[in-house]
Structure 1
Amino acid sequence: MARSPLSCQVLFRAKSNHPISPWFPSMKAAQRIKLFETIFALDGGCCVYCGVETHHLAKGLSRSPALATLDHVVPRSVGGPLTPANLVLACQACNNRRGVMDAEEFRALRKRELPS
């Protein structure tokens, strides 16, 4: 069962060169990895928007639509905080497609588009 895009309540901060480093510049690699793993586990490894089973970054999979990414519920570009409470697991396809669209609006759109 996927959690709501608004439900994670853990807090972290730090620095490093991990693949998600541009979005978490103040986090250390170990803390970023722990944060990613925490969100991945909370969401059961599935995209909160379309439900597809995602996978971790691996050699040769950097462009996979099912690549697990962290999505900011309230986009950073509109003032969303850099906290786990504002992060959910999304497949790369949904994360890229959503852009700055409202999370609940996007989730409703995806439900209408996906076959039952």
Structure 2
Amino acid sequence: MSRKVLVLNADYSALSICTVPKAFLLVYLDKAELVSDSPKGMLRTVDKSYPLPSVIRLNHYVSLPFKGVMLSRQNVFRRDGNKCVYCGSHEDLTLDHVVPKSRGGKTNWDNLVTACRRCNSRKGDLTPEEVGFTLPRKPYKPSFIMFLRDFAGSIEENWLPFLGTKERA
């Protein structure tokens, strides 16, 4: 079962995404309540049917000291659509520092982009402008809600009220 379920905190703020079995277990054990079910099916046992969860809300508030998107290779790839920002290739992806580290470039969201090995080698120790590359958009740090909304794969229509509008910050 590859469907995903939006998990809300007790105050209805988006907290995370989990699998259907995990969400069902939380609801079944009364640790969460079903906010919205999916019209695309039911969970069936031998003698019972249960609604397929789409959005659940935890019964107790969970305090998260850090609610941001962690900088990782896979998260940068997700932000950039799993393709090279310079040529659009999906093959041999690597991370590229827009301002090279040898020139004082930092390893952060605003300086890392996804690049294929060929473009990364061609760019080398230069800036994109010096090589003739153009960035389609400036690298940015996605917000937690933006990450859930835009990079978690397909989302269901009934998630949108909890994830805000489609506009990027």
Larger radius of gyration: 2
Bigger strand share: 2
TM-score, with structure 2 as normaliser: 0.35
Structure with more of its chain in helix, by fraction? 1
